[in-house]
Amino acid sequence: QLQLQESGPGLVKPSETLSLTCTVSGGSISSSNCHWGWIRQPPGKGLEWIGSIYYSGTTYYNPSLKSRVTISVDTSKNQFSLKLSSVTAADTAVYYCARNSYDYYYMDVWGKGTTVTVSS
Amino acid sequence: QTVVTQEPSFSVSPGGTVTLTCGLSSGSVSTSDYPSWYQQTPGQAPRTLIYSTNTRSSGVPDRFSGSILGNKAALTITGAQADDESDYYCVLYMGSGTWVFGGGTKLTVL
């Protein structure tokens, strides 16, 4: 059974770069017909799609975050990663990784999420 | 920028039927947007309910159904139960590898 697990620092200082990794187990990140994505949820607010990546390295980003986001993939480790630069308190959120099915264009497997707080 | 609209809140009586909708700030939602629906309870990751407009994800009870109603995607819960009280999010595929979430609907069962 495919599982995704987010990891990374829970506290990041303002203006620094947030870095998270999602480890995929129970399946290969090099699967066709799926992308690997990041979604976040600020406290008390809704979900926001951040971006996604294909195992080949092709990336897709939310236009509102594109200037600060980098998503990368490491197929040898079955992991993909998120970097968000120049963070502010508004980037405080629960960050989820998810598999995006390209057969039917939806998020079919989710990680449990990890909380990241931006504070000095 | 595209905005996906949902009712902020809705209430339904136990055993009742409720339809939540998902629209676009400009234009109509169609099957080509591959609307999907997710249920989220506090402190938990979202759970996939419906994809590709009307296909239930594995293990989802058949009281949940999806459709296109007029110019919106819709999630209907028939015979609502207490544990259906959750936040519900729709997502539309915008093409070119991008998705947009709706703002979510908080459903109260009382």
- How close, in Å, is residue A51 to chain B by CA atoms? 7
Q: Which residue of B has its CA nearest to A113?
A: B45
Low-confidence ranges of chain A (pLDDT < 50): none
Q: How confident is the model at residue B65, as a pLDDT?
A: 98
Note the pLDDT tens digit of each residue in B5-53.
999 999 999 999 999 999 999 899 999 999 999 999 999 999 999 999 9
Report residue B1's pLDDT band, with 50, 70 and 90 as the boundaries.
confident
Note the pLDDT tens digit of each residue in B58-96.
999 999 999 999 999 999 999 999 999 999 999 999 988
List chain A residues with CB under 8 Å of B57.
108
Backbone conformation region of residue A86, classed left if phi is above 0, alpha if psi is from -120 to 50, else beta: left
Q: Determine whether the interchain pair B89/A47 forms a contact, defined as Cβ–Cβ distance below 8 Å.
A: yes
SS (H, E, C) chain A: CCEEEEECCCEECCCCCEEEEEEEECCCCCCCCEEEEEEEECCCCCCEEEEEECCCCCEEECCCCCCCEEEEEECCCCEEEEEECCCCHHHCEEEEEEEEECCCCEEEEECCCEEEEECC
Q: Determine whether the interchain pair B51/A106 forms a contact, defined as Cβ–Cβ distance below 8 Å.
A: yes
Q: Which residue of A has its CA nearest to B53?
A: A104
